[in-house]
Chains A and B, each alone.
Chain A
Amino acid sequence: MDKYLEMIRIRFLMMLAYRTNYYTGILIYSINIGAYYFLWNAIYGGKSEIEGLSALQMTTYVAVAWMARAFYFNNIDREMAMEIKEGKVAVELIRPYNYLGMKTMQGLGEGIFRLFFFSVPGMLIVALIFPLEFSADFTTWVLFAVSIVLSFFINTQLNLLTGITTFFLYNNTGLIRAKRVLIDLFSGLLLPISFFPGWSQEIMKYLPFQGISYIPSMIFTNGFTGSQAMEGLLLQAAWVLILIIPVQVLWVIAKKQLIIQGG
């Protein structure tokens, strides 16, 4: 376990080495949130609520969804693709650790870094500019914390799956991009799932995506409370467990037919 914790630390150091990226990142996220704020205000017009969310809840939803994204989002799929394409994965395989486990830890290191150096300061800036509604309820915060950890794992497992496909496809840049857009849309980052047409909400119930953004954001904005929130967490946990299976299966097959590129 020691080595995995150490990896989180190393990742932290690596992020610090390129910290300027993150100052610009905060700016970009703030602009994004601002744009959505005005967009939603226009949509709401004079209406007090749409689909059970008030305008204030909606802007909070958007702000929180983007800030949570900073935590669960990582580029390990792209990194894996690069490591596999360039043959660096050979070096990873001569180390006494689990490659996928290490990748997850790197993602977590990145996530923690962004949470502290990006989400929190970003949220403060956004809260100063736009009216947001923060819950005073302690349990909401705890549920939210658990929920974004679970969303991190769901998103990371999907990233691992996409990353592993490089072993079979050799070049999967397109797939990685498609996956990112798909997640941003279906996870409820751009639009809460409750705004989707009924039939697509039905389908979405059977997909892991809403566990990434919709559930934690709804918990935070008190859109889900009590048993609904617990149900959401259970659904997330179930997806974390289910996704282990395809990741492991694909990994075993990938290792068997691994070819190291470039000598």
Chain B
Amino acid sequence: MNAIEVNGLRKEFKAYSSRSGLSGAFRDLFTRNYKIVPAVNDISFNVKQGEMVGYIGENGAGKSTTIKMLTGILTPTTGGIIVNGMNPHKERERFVQTIGVVFGQRSQLWWDIAVQESFRLLKKVYKVSDAHYNEHMDHVIKTLDIEPLLDKPVRKLSLGQRMRCELAAALIHNPPLLFLDEPTIGLDVLVKLKIREFLKEINEKYNTTILLTTHDLTDIEALCERVIMLDEGNIIYDGALKSLKEKWGEGKEISFEFLEKADLQHLEALTNDLEAKWELDEKDQIFTAVTGDDEEAVSQIIARTVAAYKVRDVKINEPSTEEIIRNIYEKGMA
């Protein structure tokens, strides 16, 4: 069963532009120039129940707009959305009962009152029975370690503490589908790890579908098998994270630190019959050979270099996901 079905989804915004100068400002009082800009440009995808999908893209690529349409906040300009078997915008009140949402940049707890009061209100709002609440939330509260925070007003919590409470608040009604819009923005490593562990756990335990947008690709690597990549409102990649790496992760880098003084030209001469490009980091005196995926070449480069110079340190690097994705953005299309 598909948790999310999106078909030819499109959202257009009017982008107003101001005329220049004083006379321009006066004219703007009466008529304004605008362009119709598509924030999301006819995209289609499906997400199966229980999948964890990373939804990534540059700032302004249309991620948040998509999430807002999927959660029923915005009306699409054209196209069809079926989430949990419902049309989010048309049946908003019934639909939102079946989803949980965390906006990393907005709090959904009530600022001036204690966390537990917010929880109590949400429990009533989502009509969760006491038995369900106790069983489910006891576990959530323990795992996220927010017990000591419950009687504090939200405005006194640190960002990391607040985010954990936000996550718990989004899960009060144990929704089968969870939208996370940059849930780890600005958090330290420990809190990030805790949140990831927790998300993995609820995914396994309840088969919760999770759609996650983030700029921190380590989140995606830790959680998602599938990524959907967006650029200027278009999907440019939709598939396994692994094949993204295989397809785009070209080449390896071998970095050497030498005990003695080495010479870039000499190194180039040593490996001139192999596919290798040498670079020198002047500051740290690190020599780096960039080569293809050919394993024979990698071992040859190392063998010849080590034979020529005394080596203090050797590192073989594969390009990280981050580099791959930067690569794709820079080149535009996958």
Contacts and interface: CB of A to CB of B under 8 A. Distances in A.
Contact of A10 (B73, B75, B108, B110): B110
Contacts of A47: none
B106 A10 contact: no
Contact of A93 (B72, B94, B125): B72
Contact of A260 (B68, B107, B125): B68
Given A10-B121, A95-B125, A90 B103 contact: yes
Contact of A91 (B13, B106, B112): B106
Which one of A90, A98, A258 has the greatest number of beta carbons of chain B within 10 Å?
A90
Interface stretch (A1-9, A189-197, A201-209): A1-9
Contact of A96 (B74, B75, B120, B126): B126
B188 interface: no
B124 A2 contact: yes
B156 to A, nearest CB: 11
Interface string B111-148: 01100010011001111000000000000000000000
Interface string B66-88: 00100111110000000000000
Contact of A259 (B13, B112, B153): B13
Given A95-B96, A96-B93, A258-B73, A6 B105 contact: no
B141 to A, nearest CB: 20
Bin the interface of chain A by size. Answer: 20 to 34
Interface in A84-101: 87-88, 90-91, 93-98
A13 interface: yes
A109 B288 CA distance: 68
A254 to B, nearest CB: 11
A14 B71 CA distance: 28
Interface in A237-263: 255-256, 258-260, 263
Contact of B73 (A7, A14, A260): A260
B97 A10 contact: no
Contact of B117 (A13, A91, A259, A263): A13
Contacts of A260: 68, 73-74
A88 B120 CA distance: 20
Nearest to A90: B73
B92 interface: yes
A255 B75 CA distance: 8
A39 B303 CA distance: 101
B110 A14 contact: yes
Contacts of A95: 96, 125
B106 A88 contact: yes
B3 interface: no
A6 B103 contact: no
A263 B60 CA distance: 8
Contacts of A90: 68, 73, 103, 106
Contacts, number: 70
A258 B68 CA distance: 11
Contacts of A96: 93-94, 96-97, 125-126
Contact of B108 (A3, A13, A91, A97): A91
Nearest to B105: A263
A18 interface: yes
Interface string A91-134: 10111111000000000000000000000000000000000000
B99 A10 contact: no
A256 B75 contact: yes
A2 B108 CA distance: 20
A17 interface: yes
A6 B121 contact: yes
B93 A97 contact: yes
A94 B110 contact: no
Contacts of B99: 94
A193 to B, nearest CB: 37
Given A17-B112, A90-B103, A259-B13, A6 B71 contact: no
Interface in B145-164: 153
Interface in A59-104: 87-88, 90-91, 93-98
Interface string A3-29: 100110010011001100000000000
Contacts of B271: none
Interface of A: 2-3, 6-7, 10, 13-14, 17-18, 87-88, 90-91, 93-98, 255-256, 258-260, 263
Given A14-B112, A91-B107, 7 more contacts: A6-B120, A10-B113, A91-B108, A93-B73, A94-B71, A258-B75, A260-B68
Nearest first, the 4 A-B pairs at minimum CB distance are A6-B124, A91-B108, A3-B125, A17-B112
24 contacts: A3-B121, A3-B127, A6-B124, A13-B117, A14-B112, A17-B112, A17-B153, A91-B106, A91-B107, A93-B71, A93-B92, A94-B96, A94-B99, A95-B96, A96-B97, A96-B125, A97-B93, A98-B93, A255-B75, A256-B75, A258-B74, A260-B68, A260-B73, A260-B74
